[in-house]
Structure formats: structure tokens, C-alpha cells
A and B are shown apart, each in its own frame.
Chain A
């Protein structure tokens, strides 16, 4: 994309490495170090989600979850140690411990009892990933209910948003009427309005309607077209030639037919951008569920995770498993729709 920038001023001198190549190598090293820092917390989250609780609080941390090897000796099982005896190291099971002295046996020859200081013994570990943490994390709280509520909110409001935004953007891009341009300016000016200014009367309105502790306050407002979405889609509609509308009209398309058969199919990239950014916003929204939902049976995932965190702050094994499941849809969406994300953020600035 920008290769010309760097290759233009090449000097005729021959060196081991041109300063430009050297610059790129340095850049790559710096980027790689930074990338490690970026990935670290996520790797840590994944690692911790597979640990037993006892390994959560270890310092220095254990990166690969493990457990001590147990061996069967006779009818019971005992932990296995690496014991240093007279210069050689042997894997022995500890069957008893008195003070600082442990009694060990060789699992292969369990009749001989060996006594050695516990200082000379190191526990033997093997990797053990506790996938069952996920099952526990998702059942110890009603995660399925949270997920269902979240799906209702996210997709219900997405439907409302897409429907109303399409109609309004169509109205603002294809028709003339007195006062319409003034209204469009009004619409643009509301994008700068902080939501707190309308928050309290809106809350009072919903409470008077009896909608507190229902999902309605999180879904219904989306059916009334947000200013930002309308602006984005309207700009896209403006780039679609009017000749297409005319052709459709001649073929007998009505007003709504032009919108649904011509404009929307052509505006698929814009619709995808709107849908994805709406998903990210609604899925991660915490403030609105917090003020409108009270009972656990109505919680969304974000709210459920927060209450899990508030009441079981020490269970980082389960919290990390639940958090990972929570961010997974966003991560997957990001990888499948990376281009839209990057174009979207470039178009929309910092929203999302």
C-alpha cells in the first residue's frame, strides 16, 4: 500500500543492511514485543479458566494448569515425588509423613519403605486442563437464561434498528418535503447529545409504563431509529444512482418496493456495518440492563457476569471461564468480519 514511500530514496552505497531494512527489522521486533503484551491478558484468561482453584493464587503464576501425579500403591493412591537419594533421582510415592521426614515407596516395588527428608522431594506434575470448569461456570449461575435474554435484547433491538433506520434513511435520502433538511440537521445535532440528559425522564417514563424489570426498555427504543445509524445509511443511499429507482418504478415497483428490492440489497455493506456495530454495542451494554433489570431471571449476560463477579470474586477459575465464553462471540465476529470492523471504525471514528 505504501511501499513507494520507503523505497524512493535508495542510496548507491552498499552496506551489510540498508538503513531501511534495518528500520523494518527494528519495527518488527518492537511490534512483536507489543503483540506479546496485547495477547498476554487473553492468554492468561484462557490459562486460568482451565486451572484448579488452588493454582489461581500462585505467585509466580503457573501458565500451564497441572496436577500432581497420583499412583496406586496397593489399594490406595498416593502423590508421586521426585526424590533425591544418594545422588540419584527416583520417582517415589509418598505414603506417610512425620514432621520433616517422609516415607516413600517405589510404586514398582511397594514392599520396600524408604525414609527421606521432604526437602529432597519435589512433587511430580503433569498437565491437566480442567475443561469441566466451563461446565461449572455456566451452570453455577443460570447462564442459559442470561444468554436467552441477551439474544432477545440483541436481536430484537437489531430488528427494530434495521427496520426503522432503513425507512428513515430512505425518507431522508430520496424525497423532498418542506422542512426535511432542517429536520436532518436536527437529527445530526442529536448525535452529540450525551445520553444522561435524557436518561432520568426516560427511566421515569418506563417505570410509569410498568416496564421496569422487563426487557422492553432495552428493545423498544430501537424501533425509533437512532440518529447515528440513520446518518450512516442515508450517506450510503446517496451513493446509489437514482436511475435505479426510476427503472424499478417503470417496472411497477412501489415506494416501499424500491426500498426493499433496490436500495437495501445494494446497501448490504452498510447494513452489515450497522448490524455488527449494533451487536457489539447491545451485547456489551451494561448500563441499561443495570438500571432496568432487577431479577436474576431477567439478567443479560453482562449483568449476570457482574453479579457473579460481585458475589464470587475469589472464584477466578470460574470467572475466567465465564468471561471467556462471554467475549467469544465478539472475538469470532471480529475474525469473520474484520474488514467491516476496520472500515466501520474508520468511517465512524471511535463508536464501538
Chain B
């Protein structure tokens, strides 16, 4: 097998065994990934409602998305606005809690469990819970606001507040990012802080010039994955608002779902899926490109820059 000390390379038997073992993935790749990708690309140039025959439509699905479907642009806007509203506060809160927990305070595991727990539970139950928590008339958020003399907004029922409501709810699950940041913080060598102190750095300097550069790869990773995840956002929008009010929470994925499984416009939905794929590719590329400016990888020598 792999460790046989022959110089002739793998035997045919070994190769056969290897392919037999990976065959579940290979078959799955062909049937559930590669095949569907080709079919979905082809479908995106057609009109198809599962029952009637496929009709070739050329690029009309794509031109229709960009120039004839105002809800397409609305869903793009909703998705990006939500990404900004949820990811940036999530980064700040997650990092802040991680920094506090990194102060070698007592009961670390208890705090960590409390902050992490809400991000463990997800799905419909949490959506139902938050619908109730954000109820304008008797929800506890508006009750808490009333204690300090603020009359709370209509949250999910108000077109201006619906998206911020969902972002607020996502902050509740900031503990997932917190655990990541905490692990990253604990990986920062103590010697760096000692050296900074010798050089007269105060707490802010140590955060700005030691901590943040050292954990920037994790921040970067989290932002990339968070943006991509926003394009997959579905359950909360479907359960809590159904895309409303007035399409204020029409996420991209919800728009796609509506076309595929409500109107059975499979061709158009396939086109939307490919546009989504390209957006995610571009986003990943943009974030990776821009990262060299601010992400510090330990031991990395910036060739041609320094």
C-alpha cells in the first residue's frame, strides 16, 4: 500500500482498491454535483416548469434578471445590506467578548458556554422565538426599551426596521464568531505582548499593533464565510417575514426559492443560481485580493513589497 517501499509506484491492485474506496464520493460527485451543474447551466437558458417540455430561451433569463426584474435588484440590495448590518456588529461584539474572556477572568468555561449557546441552536424554533421576542406590542425587546423610556419600533412589521431586526437577531448568535476569535487570541504568543510592553505600548497599542494583526487571518476568514453565508440566508426570512413587508427582507435565496418552488420557473431560477455562483466567486476573489493589504500571516514575507 502507500508505505510499500517499491520504487515502481503504486500497483494496479492498490489503485483499484483506492478507486473502489472513493467510489461513493466519485458517484456522488457525478450524480449530485457535476451532472446537476451542467444541467443547471443548460436549464438557465431555457424555460421549464417540470411538467411541460423544455423551451430554449437563449440568454433571456439573464437579461430578464438584470433588466426586467426589479425584485432581483431588491434581493441583491437586501442581501448586501444585511451582510453589512450583521457582519460588522457581529465582528465587533464577537471580538469584544473574546477579548474580555481572554483577560484570564474566573469561570471562563461558564461564560464561554453562555455566550456560545445561542449560536448552537438555530432553525425554525429560534425564528419563532424571535418573532415573539420582537413582537411590537408585547415582545420583551420593546419592553426592555420601554424601561429606559424608548418607544420601540414595529420591528418585523415595519419595512424600515425588518432587516435591522434580523441583524439584531443575528447578534444573539455572535458567540460562534466569539469562540473562533477566542481560540485565535489564545494562539497569540505572549512574548509579543511582553516585547510591546518593554517598548512602552499601552493596552490600546497592544490591541492595535499586536492582537489585531495577529488574528487578522481569522477575522478575514470569518468575513468571507459570513458574506457567502448571507447569500444562503433562508430559514429566518421565510419563517419570520416571508420576504416582507413590502419585500424589505427579500433575500437573494428567498427570491430564488420563490421562482423555483412557488412559480416553478426552473429555468429562471437556474439562471439566478448561476448569477449567485458568480457573485460568490467574485466576492471571494475581491476579499482575497484586498486581504494582502491588511491580513498578516505569521512568517509571511511580502515579496516585492518590503
Contacts and interface: CB of A to CB of B under 8 A. Distances in A.
B132 A48 contact: yes
A334 B143 CA distance: 30
B235 A286 contact: yes
Given A5-B193, A56-B138, A195-B232, A286 B124 contact: yes
Interface of A is mostly: helix
A1 B104 contact: yes
Given A27-B100, A201-B43, A245-B1, A35 B121 contact: no
B253 interface: yes
A198 interface: yes
A341 B179 CA distance: 10
Interface stretch (B2-10, B75-83, B291-299): B2-10
Nearest to A1: B186
Instruction: Among A167, A177, A286, A320, find the residue whose CB has the most chain B CB atoms closer than 10 A.
Output: A177
Given A5-B190, A31-B101, A45-B129, A196 B124 contact: no
A291 B261 contact: yes
A342 B221 contact: no
Interface residues of B, number: 108
A229 to B, nearest CB: 10
B62 interface: no
Interface string A258-288: 0000000000000000000000100111110
A198 B33 contact: yes
Q: How large is the interface on A (under 10, 10 to 19, 20 to 34, 35 or more residues)?
A: 35 or more
Given A8-B194, A200-B269, A202-B32, A284 B122 contact: yes
B120 A177 contact: no
A265 B278 CA distance: 42
Instruction: Among B1, B120, B221, find the residue whose CB has the most chain A CB atoms closer than 10 A.
Output: B120
Interface in A167-203: 167-168, 170-172, 174-178, 180, 183, 186-187, 190, 192-203
B97 interface: yes
A175 B18 contact: yes
Contacts of A335: 113
Given A31-B100, A175-B10, A204 B50 contact: yes
Contact of B112 (A167, A201, A204, A342): A342
A141 B117 CA distance: 28
Given A224-B31, A331-B120, A57 B137 contact: yes
A3 B226 CA distance: 32
A109 interface: no
Contacts of A56: 138
B29 A190 contact: yes
A316 interface: yes
Contacts of A74: none
B288 to A, nearest CB: 12
Given A35-B111, A59-B137, A331-B117, A306 B124 contact: yes
A327 B180 CA distance: 23
B120 A280 contact: yes
A31 B186 CA distance: 18
Contacts of B101: 31
Interface of A: 1-6, 8-9, 23-24, 27-28, 30-31, 34-35, 38-42, 44-45, 48, 56-61, 164, 167-168, 170-172, 174-178, 180, 183, 186-187, 190, 192-205, 207, 221, 223-225, 227, 230, 242, 245-246, 249, 255, 280, 283-287, 290-291, 302-303, 305-306, 309, 313, 316, 319-320, 322-324, 326-327, 330-331, 334-335, 338, 341-342, 345-346, 349-350, 352
Closest 7 CB pairs of A and B: A224-B28, A171-B21, A284-B123, A175-B18, A177-B15, A201-B36, A198-B36
Given A41-B130, A175-B18, 14 more contacts: A4-B190, A8-B193, A31-B111, A57-B138, A175-B21, A176-B15, A195-B232, A204-B39, A204-B266, A246-B3, A284-B124, A305-B124, A309-B131, A316-B132
Interface of B: 1-3, 9-10, 14-22, 24-29, 31-33, 35-37, 39-40, 43, 50, 97, 100-106, 108-109, 111-118, 120-126, 128-133, 137-138, 140, 142-144, 146, 172, 175-177, 179-180, 183, 185-186, 190, 193-194, 197, 221-222, 225-226, 228-229, 231-232, 234-235, 238-239, 253, 256-257, 260-261, 266, 269-270, 272-274, 276-277, 280, 284
